[in-house]
């Protein structure tokens, strides 16, 4: 199976980390500012301008998300010289969406000009490993419908969750102070606010799209391996869930990032890599021209690089996407992949290793290879 084209779309609202610190609902202590700067994010694109909090209930609009998805998909089709009529299957991966139901694909089908009978599916809740799962679904479809082309849309629009959960926040404490709190209930609440603050400054907004076919020039998807919940309670290390409030028609949002997430990322990707590459693991990893690693944070990328002994040059695009866009959840990998193929020259047989991991707890490893390469095919060296 081939990736014929990749493209991305981001919002016009671009904020530096320093600008967002100034716009944050409350003053950040110096220790918390240091935590924020250590995330490795210098700027992000947000789907809506950062605004002051309102006391009234706000029905969040899906308009900007839909427009961004349409832009990414149309860019992909245009670059591939295809029309929507050439697409036999539409796969949409996302987590945050103003609509809990219907899914994002339902909102996009007519906007993109699809026939209302088109085969489509939503992937929700796969988080940062959703892109490789979407590739698996595309591969399964193409195996039984070899003449079809498959359009993938991966939304990494996260501010619906991580910006809005902090409206009206009045204070955030440093972790060293939180650890000194004797009241466990208060300590838990203060840590929850600290985690939400890190999410506010880590996650960005963006949408990626690609089109797949059985054959073509460029990047071939050779093999994908997934692993999830190696231990049955690992899913609790990172999650987003709703909570009931004692008010009619109201729900709360509760998210969690455990301190063991970086270690889990390394452990799970190692398990997936072992199954992906088998006895040839060491040789293949050394031979790989580029690595695409999910942009969890700078600490996670550094741990992955150290564990696999990967030179910075081979995974610099992952660091760059983190710095320029923040953590894009499921869209991070196609953003990195688009950057890799558009800024480097490849030869036939060159390998890219791609790793996704995160909430679930899940990880995936994928080997991509350049076959029948035409440098112009995917916008290489534009």
The answer to whether residues 73 and 208 belong to one domain is yes
Of 192-196, 213-217, 364-368, the one with minimum mean pLDDT is: 213-217
Question: Does residue 15 share a domain with residue 82?
Answer: yes
CATH number of 58's domain: 3.40.47.10
Quick one: DSSP state of residue 27? P
- Report how far residue 37's alpha carbon sits from residue 281's, in angstroms, rounded to the nearest whole number: 35
Same domain membership, residue 343 and residue 247: yes
Last residue of a domain, one of 191, 216, 241: 216
Domain extent for 150: 2-161+201-216
| 243 and 327 assigned to the same domain | yes
The answer to whether residue 85 scores a pLDDT higher than 70 is yes
Mean of pLDDT values over 105-117 = 96
Give the model confidence (pLDDT) of 199-251 as tens digits: 999 999 999 999 999 988 879 999 999 999 988 899 999 899 888 888 888 88
| pLDDT value of residue 52 | 52
28-75 pLDDT per residue, tens: 999 999 999 999 999 999 999 887 555 566 778 899 999 999 999 999
| pLDDT, average across residues 153-178 | 92
Q: Give the Cα separation of 8 and 22 in Å (integer).
A: 28
Total domains, the chain:
2
Same domain, yes or no: 212 and 269? no
Q: Are residues 142 and 271 in the same domain?
A: no
Answer left, alpha or beta for residue 265, where phi above 0 means left and psi between -120 and 50 means alpha.
alpha
Nearest to 66 by CA among 104, 102, 94, 101: 104
pLDDT (0 to 100) of residue 375: 47
Distance CA 166, CA 159 (A): 11
Residues 11 and 151 in one domain: yes
In this structure, is residue 96 part of a structural domain? yes
Residues 224 and 156 in one domain: no
> Is 33 found in the same domain as 101?
yes
> Do 274 and 152 share a structural domain?
no
299 and 276 within one domain: yes
Q: Residue 382: its pLDDT value, please? A: 32
Pairwise pLDDT comparison (255 vs 70), residue with the higher score = 70
């Amino acid at each position: 199976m081939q990736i014929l084209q990749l493209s991305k779309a981001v919002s016009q609202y671009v904020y530096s980390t320093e600008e967002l610190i100034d716009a944050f609902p409350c003053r950040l202590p110096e220790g918390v500012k240091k935590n924020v700067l250590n995330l490795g994010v210098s700027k992000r694109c947000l789907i809506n301008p950062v605004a002051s909090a309102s006391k009234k209930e706000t029905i969040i609009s899906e308009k900007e998300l839909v427009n961004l998805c349409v832009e990414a998909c149309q860019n992909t089709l245009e670059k591939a010289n295809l029309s929507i009529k050439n697409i036999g299957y539409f796969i949409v991966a996302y987590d945050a969406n103003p609509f809990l139901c219907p899914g994002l694909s339902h909102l996009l089908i007519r906007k993109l000009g699809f026939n209302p009978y088109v085969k489509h599916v939503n992937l929700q809740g796969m988080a940062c490993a959703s892109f490789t799962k979407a590739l698996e679904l595309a591969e399964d479809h193409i195996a039984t419908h070899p003449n079809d082309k498959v359009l993938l849309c991966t939304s990494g629009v996260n501010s619906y969750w991580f910006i809005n959960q902090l409206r009206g926040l009045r204070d955030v404490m440093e972790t060293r102070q939180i650890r000194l709190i004797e009241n466990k209930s208060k300590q838990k609440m203060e840590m929850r606010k600290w985690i939400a603050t890190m999410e506010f400054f880590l996650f960005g907004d963006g949408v990626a799209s690609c089109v797949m076919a059985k054959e073509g020039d460029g990047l071939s998807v050779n093999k994908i391996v997934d692993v999830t919940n190696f231990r049955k309670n690992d899913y609790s290390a990172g999650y987003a869930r709703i909570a009931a409030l004692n008010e009619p028609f109201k729900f709360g949002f509760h998210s969690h990032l455990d301190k063991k997430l970086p270690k889990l990322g390394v452990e799970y990707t190692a398990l997936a890599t072992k199954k992906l590459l088998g006895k040839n693991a060491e040789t293949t990893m050394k031979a790989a021209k580029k690595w695409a690693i999910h942009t969890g944070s700078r600490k996670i990328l550094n741990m992955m690089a150290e564990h696999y002994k990967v030179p910075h040059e081979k995974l610099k695009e992952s660091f760059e996407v983190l710095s320029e866009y923040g953590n894009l959840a499921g869209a991070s990998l196609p953003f990195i992949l688009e950057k890799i193929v558009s800024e480097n020259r490849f030869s036939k047989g060159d390998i890219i290793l791609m790793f996704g991991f995160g909430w679930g707890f899940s990880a995936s490893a994928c080997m991509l290879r350049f076959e029948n390469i035409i440098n112009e095919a995917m916008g290489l060296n534009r």
